[in-house]
A and B are shown apart, each in its own frame.
Chain A
Amino acid sequence: MYRLRVRTWRLVAALVVVNAALLIIGDALAPARPQPATGAGAPRARIGLVFDVGGKDDRSFNDVAWRGLVRARDQLGVAITTIEPSDGADREAALRQLAAQHLDLVIGVGFIFSADLERLAREFPDVAFAGIDYAPTGPDQPPPNLAGLRFREHEGSFIVGAIAGLSTRTRTVGFVGGMKIPLIRKFEAGYVAGVKHVCPDCKVFSAYAGTEPKAFADPALGQELALAQYEGGADIVFHASGKTGAGVIAAARAKGKRVIGVDSDQFHEAPCCVLTSMVKQVDVAVFDAVADVVAGRFRGGIRELGLADDGVGFVANADNAHLLSADVVTRARALAADVIAGRIEVPSQ
């Protein structure tokens, strides 16, 4: 039998005292909160952003988006709020949380937000929405207050494929993808086409880390897949696998082989070995979306950013000059010009 006695409530009393003390001490310790600015000092727009699986510090996709947002805050004078959802069910709730505050722009980073963004854009017509890597979920056009920002990853991948084809000594290269979805297939298709364009009889290995989102966050598996390709004769591997790519780069370092990074310039992950990176300017897309809202020229609809818009590209600078020969860079630039001019059709599947 459990009876309530004075003794039982002593614990409660003690906890109340502890809590009161923590509240008072904590409030005294916390740095003063910035007062909401008014008048001339008010932010020019309020922007919210929700991160994808992996979160802010993934050193890849989310990180690049975050950089674009920080730049917008510093240069355009906007106020920013971000949320890192902890689980699947929280993603929509996080977007909704920001939309319900009637911010000027709410950004979802990742294809996974597409359906949620469509629905919220219809529910909150006064809020502008932008989806990075947006993938339409039906035949309908997205609502007018939703900008779907897509990248022509196959174009950038085509160029780094050509670089791999021109740089390989074993006439064998590899590809490691994260989650096997149409988005990552675009990287693979472009890459293979690029290799074959400059080296028709080169061999291309291809492997994926899995079919669920955690395939983007499994460095151990990435390392295994890359090691297998290096041991099979590949001397260059291109990865499109988010955090999993850390393992691919580690494998390159261990074997002293070359690797091609993705999304951001990954040279500093392994200065010995990162031949180049297929950069995807998510930061530019985020910054531009904010700038459009600030300037009052935001418009919805799907936009594809390719080589022509500097939405995708490859890295050739002083850092990687010791790995990437000037001839190869010249050829790659010429090929990029051909793609932009439509003289080369790059497959996306």
Chain B
Amino acid sequence: MTGRARTIHLTVVALLATMAVGSLLMIVAGASPLHAWGQLLQKTLGERQGFGQVLFRATPLVFTGLAVAVPLRAGLFNIGGEGQLTAAALACAVVAAALPPGLPAPLAVLIATAVAFLAGAAVGAATGAMRIYRGAHEVIVAIGLNAIIAGVALWLGNRSLFVGESTRTATIPAAAQLPELGLAGSNASVSALGALAVAALMAWLLARTRVGFTWRMTGQGLDAARAAGLPVDRARVWAMTVAGGMAGLAGAHFVLGHKHAYEDGLGRGVGFLGIAVALLAQGEALAIIGAALVFGVLGQGGLAIASDVPKEMVDVLQAVVVLVAAASLGRRRA
């Protein structure tokens, strides 16, 4: 299958280019690239704690990656992951904290996760509706919504939701907290398994269902799909709605599986990084798992070698991955 070979080739090129740029930066910073890369790999893939942290970082990236990849197939660009994640995380934390005590754990988790999905989906639906029914470009709408949600969340928090002197909401009950995977003091929780399942579900939805077919046709040729009688408007709004829900699940991952509360700055940047993940994965739902792991290794590895190289290096390396992926996408179109 040429598509898959292409993705592998792209990934190899992206990683090698990233490594070359990284090595140059390390040399400038006065560190030995051989030693630094060795440390980076050893502390991410070579030990349980580090690997758990990689999984923990990759999990929300799978969700926000899907939040970009799914509407991309329907021809829309979702850069609203940040706002969708924040709205979902705040709603999830508030509802989870208010759940009656004594609620069985699976039910509490289910309710809190559903709230996160719906809150994110609502923001996604609003973005899609603005695009389809008002003709506003979805990128502009998403930028606006990101800023509005960030401001409102902080205002609500400072006004009434943050407890004591902190900038975090009340801790959610134990029943709503996701169990950890037990990887030697890492944060990896069962949400990692949830991410795998959701990615598989999305791959199936896109490839094997009528809904997925409509999305793909809409993305490949709007006018042709419309002429063929497909409900392209509704399809695009739904694609954005599901995308918002995906970003919402990333919010649930942080609240239920990590912080056990909403706090200012929670998941910041993860929505945007999802764009890079989706790009590297060429929009393929299953490839997103691999792409998320690549960014997980870079992020965690950067922290592991933070004493040897400047902290900005990881940001630069992530950008190199994006650039290579973007350049290669362009060549396909040409």
Contacts and interface: CB of A to CB of B under 8 A. Distances in A.
Nearest to A210: B154
Nearest to A101: B49
Contact of B165 (A1, A123, A135): A135
B165 A26 contact: no
Interface stretch (B33-41, B65-73, B93-101, B130-138): B33-41
Contacts of B16: 12, 15-16, 18-19
Contacts of B234: none
A115 interface: yes
A112 B167 contact: yes
B332 interface: yes
A12 B26 CA distance: 22
A51 to B, nearest CB: 10
A111 B312 CA distance: 24
A74 interface: no
Interface string B305-324: 01100011011000000000
A213 B158 contact: no
Interface stretch (B6-14, B113-121, B241-249): B6-14
Interface in A2-34: 2-4, 8-9, 11-12, 15-16, 18-19, 22-27, 29-31, 33
Nearest to A9: B9
A55 B306 CA distance: 13
B27 interface: yes
Interface stretch (B210-218, B221-229, B267-275): B267-275
B27 A26 contact: yes
Contact of B34 (A18, A27, A180, A183): A27
Contacts, number: 156
B266 interface: yes
A115 B263 contact: yes
Interface on chain B toward A: helix, strand, loop, or mixed SS? helix
A29 B27 contact: yes
Contacts of B23: 19, 22-23, 26
A326 to B, nearest CB: 38
B39 to A, nearest CB: 11
Interface string B260-285: 01011111111000000000000000
B166 A114 contact: yes
Interface stretch (A92-100, A222-230, A235-243, A300-308): A92-100
A87 B17 CA distance: 24
A40 interface: no
A83 B35 contact: no
Bin chain A's interface residue count.
Answer: 35 or more
Contact of B154 (A19, A33, A211): A211
B9 A96 contact: no
B306 A84 contact: yes
Contacts of B166: 111, 114-115, 135, 137
B30 A30 contact: yes
Contacts of A16: 16
A318 interface: no
Contacts of A3: 2
B144 to A, nearest CB: 18
A183 B259 CA distance: 22
A33 B31 CA distance: 9
B32 A33 contact: yes
A211 B23 CA distance: 39
Nearest to B150: A212
A33 B292 CA distance: 33
B27 A22 contact: yes
Nearest to B48: A100
A41 interface: no
Q: Taking each of B167, B168, B314, which has the highest tally of chain A beta carbons within 10 Å of its own beta carbon?
A: B167
B102 interface: no
A90 B303 contact: yes
Contacts of A18: 16, 20
Contact of B311 (A30, A85, A96): A85
A30 B27 CA distance: 7
A82 interface: yes
Nearest to B60: A89
A15 B17 contact: yes
Interface in A45-98: 55, 81-90, 92-94, 96-97
Contacts of B49: 100
B157 to A, nearest CB: 9
A2 B334 CA distance: 12
A213 B158 CA distance: 12
Contacts of B302: 86
A81 B303 CA distance: 12
Contacts of A31: 30
B165 A111 contact: yes
B26 A81 contact: no
A96 B53 contact: yes
Given A83-B303, A137-B168, A181-B165, A25 B27 contact: yes
B270 A89 contact: yes
Given A19-B23, A137-B164, A138-B171, A100 B33 contact: no
Given A23-B37, A93-B303, 13 more contacts: A2-B6, A12-B9, A15-B16, A19-B20, A23-B33, A30-B35, A86-B302, A86-B314, A92-B258, A94-B306, A96-B185, A97-B306, A182-B164
Please give me the 9 A-B residue pairs with the lowest Cβ-Cβ distance, nearest first: A88-B265, A30-B32, A15-B16, A135-B165, A22-B23, A26-B33, A27-B34, A182-B165, A26-B27
17 contacts: A4-B6, A12-B9, A12-B12, A12-B16, A16-B16, A18-B16, A22-B20, A22-B23, A23-B37, A26-B31, A30-B31, A82-B306, A85-B303, A86-B311, A88-B267, A89-B270, A94-B306
Interface of B: 2-3, 5-6, 9, 12-13, 16-17, 19-20, 23-24, 26-27, 30-35, 37, 49, 53, 57, 154-155, 158, 163-168, 171, 184-187, 258-259, 261, 263-270, 299-300, 302-304, 306-307, 311-312, 314-315, 332
Interface of A: 1-4, 8-9, 11-12, 15-16, 18-19, 22-27, 29-31, 33, 55, 81-90, 92-94, 96-97, 99-100, 111-112, 114-115, 123-124, 135-138, 180-183, 211-213
